[in-house]
Structure 1
Amino acid sequence: MEESREAELIREVLAGDPRPFEVLVRRYQGPVYNLMLRNAGDGAVAEDLAQEAFVRAYARLETFRLGKRFFPWLYTLSMNVVRDWLRKNGRDLHVFMEQPSVMVRDQDRPDVERSMVERLDGARAFEAVMELPPAYREALILRFRHDLSMAEVAQALNLSVSGAKMRVSRGLDMLRLQFKEASDES
């Protein structure tokens, strides 16, 4: 969905017509639900959390800056819903977010990032991504599955652009290491 179409829908909602918000919910319910499921691990809880995210988004829609992409804003809000749920249930997302990284550099291959993007399309790669600590998993999913820019990844994860680049780079390094270890075992 184009930014201009999203902005038009949001203007209509802010003008008092709630129906256009349904279009945004239908467009983004899958990614928001998947975010909740990845973090909660339970389908029913994920549904409740996704619903809560959309309720909050609707209530705070006036804080959205027109001219920006809606999805990074919604994702940030959704991450806050997840954080609140984790804290309420005695879990701390920051424990996951601050996991030590595995740094592996492959200086001999300039096409490593392109190669990793291609691998992210496969089922094996998806399983590997899902095994990553949440901080790196979310960064990679936003960057490569949802095709967000680094600035948008940074916004969605409440990081600096440099921090977002580091998360994506380290996530790719971790995947690279997983694939290398798997190929060494075979």
Structure 2
Amino acid sequence: MSTQLTIYSVSIENARLWVRRPPPGMREGCRRRAATADEKAVDDLFGDRPLDPDAGDAYARVWRDVIEHGESTRFDLGPLRLGARYLADASREFEDAGVPRDLTPASFVYDTPFPTQARNAPVIGHVPAERVPALREAYGTLADRVEASDLVKVLLAAADETLHFNAFARDFPDGPLPPQDLVTFYG
């Protein structure tokens, strides 16, 4: 069985705002794209209603749809054969090479920034904006030194995009914009 790791450079603050005060067409678009079972999850998230503990991964799929159709940049790695083992092995390899444990995939891929009831894939994780510079520094010299170099290259591309946007956002002429974080969907 194979899995996919998708990383988005996106503002978590904006994603939460898009759910509380959706831009024109976002809620309707999510409902159109949702599977029948996910329509209730769309209504729960956009309606700020309690989450249904029996909804499984529906909320994670709706958050992904919100981010996918909001202002984000997407980076993909996969399909990954035995993805959980790959991420665990890569995390051990990265940690042995000096990457702090909280910046390894085994840590951040499961650190969800959103309310979900997911027991299945996709699993949502994230690296907060303030940790992206440390991630960039930790992985900066690893690409040629580790077996999981494809993962390092994707992480560096996502970190570089996020850092570039955040520099722009900080110096925006009309005042700072919300910074972008790295949000991962794995499954």
Q: Which has the higher contact order (CA 8 A, sep 6+)?
A: 2
Name the one with the larger strand percent. Answer: 2
Q: TM-score, normalised by structure 1?
A: 0.27
Which structure shows the bigger proportion of residues in helix conformation?
1
